[in-house]
Amino acid sequence: MATPARASAPDPGRPGGRQDPLSPDWVNVRGLLVTVAEATAVAVTELEARPRCTGALRRVEALHAALEDLAEITRRLVIDQSVLDAVRADAYAQGAADCKAARCHLEAVPGPH
């Protein structure tokens, strides 16, 4: 984990500004996407075979709602990452300003200059 540039800075999380596709959140989202996609294929096939079946129609509607929930979860993960990126950039800028004020060498600080 990154070291905060100032005492009040929260830990910005994963460095580099990229989301980790192997993180538990993304693994859960991918797993849910596969499950919903498979269930949707079965439900649509059933609805196609029995177009007047209200049960099959309800299953397709429920899967549609699940896909909307998945889109919301994905949106939240992306927004959370952008918030963390902004906090990280702010902490870096504050640390760089503190370093300049203390006349230290910025070359020793990793990150954008």
- The percentage of residues in the chain with a pLDDT greater than 90, rounded to a whole number, is 22
pTM value?
A: 0.50
Q: What confidence tens digit (pLDDT) does each residue in 28-39 have?
A: 888 888 898 899
Helix (H) or strand (E) holding 104, with range, is none
What digits encode the pLDDT tens for the residues 62-74? 998 998 888 888 7
User: What 8-state DSSP symbol labels residue 109?
Assistant: S
Q: Has residue 83 got a pLDDT over 90?
A: no
Side-chain-facing half-sphere of 69: CA atoms under 13 Å = 11
What CA–CA distance (Å, rounded) separates 98 from 111? 15
CA distance 11 to 43: 44
Burial of 6 from C-beta contacts in 10 A (0-12 / 13-18 / 19+): exposed
Of 74, 55, 56, nearest in space to 66 by CA = 74
Residue 89 vs residue 59, higher pLDDT? 59
Is residue 12 predicted with pLDDT exceeding 50? Answer: no
